[in-house]
Amino acid sequence: MSVTSTARLYGEPVIELPLDLYIPPDALEVFLEAFEGPLDLLLYLIRKENLDILDIPMAPLTRQYLEYVEIMRSKNLELAADYLVMAAMLIEIKSRLLLPKPPAAEPLEDDPRAELVRRLLEYEQMKKAAQALDALPQTGRDVIAISVWIEKTLSERLPDVHPPDLAEAWRGLLHRARLSRHHHISREELSVREHMSAILRALRERRVLEFGELFQPEKGVAVLVVTFLALLELARELLVEITQSECFAPIYVKLRHEQPV
């Protein structure tokens, strides 16, 4: 692959980066959108220049990379963030390469570029894998899953209905009708307003009544409920006062205002 890998590790790069890589600033935005990030851009620079990825000449690569980042900074800050991290990494690697090494140190083991190379290779591998995946025929995009038309209306299973079901449904209807009729009538017979008047009448005679005295249990639950509602309504309308001195003490109901008789 890398045919002209003539770059030297700690020396000057033999190949000068050709100028054809220069992209006018106007086109740079479009150009950079074609890249999936700093690794992608680096790979492009390396492959384009036939640089040996395992022996990257850091100086020219960093220089060229930084030129792009510089223009990007003025264009798209958000995009540049990822690229800036990479720029820092490149500069760090370059500076570590420049530092003199103790003679005893194993140069290859210490190559600060190793991690970058590993990441570049791993990314390139995945990038190619993505292309290979994309080349596979995709259902919906390249092939269509076949299904012939079936007469579903004929074969559709509708729920079964038996005569007893109908009878049951009718009974239910009747029952509900009876309930609502009962309810309807009781509203007439046991109107809240009527009981409000009854309470007021009783209070007019006795001034103060104990809570229990207002109710007539022998007339049934419905009357109890309506009486209670009537009492609440009276309290809401500030016609009666309901008092209790302490918990579980008797509750007293009295007229709130003296009413002219």
Report the interface residues with other proteins, using CB under 8 A: 1-2, 5, 36-40, 52-55, 82, 86, 108-109, 111, 113-114, 117-119, 121-123, 125-148, 150
Based on CB atoms, which residue is closest to other proteins, 82 or 189?
A: 82
Query: Which residue bears the tokens 């990314």?
Result: 123
Based on CB atoms, which residue is closest to other proteins, 82 or 165?
A: 82
Closest distance of CB 36 from other proteins, Å:
5
Sheet holding 240-244, edge to edge: 208-210, 251-255, 240-244
Closest distance of CB 247 from other proteins, Å:
51
Closest distance of CB 152 from other proteins, Å:
10
Residue 19, classed as helix, strand or coil, is helix
Rounded Cα distance between 26 and 188, Å, is 85
Based on CB atoms, which residue is closest to other proteins, 118 or 201?
A: 118
Asked if 82 and 68 count as a contact pair (C-beta separation under 8 A), the reply is no
What tokens does 30 get? 């479009």
Closest distance of CB 13 from other proteins, Å:
16
What tokens does 234 get? 């009276």
Rounded Cα distance between 202 and 208, Å, is 9
Based on CB atoms, which residue is closest to other proteins, 89 or 239?
A: 89
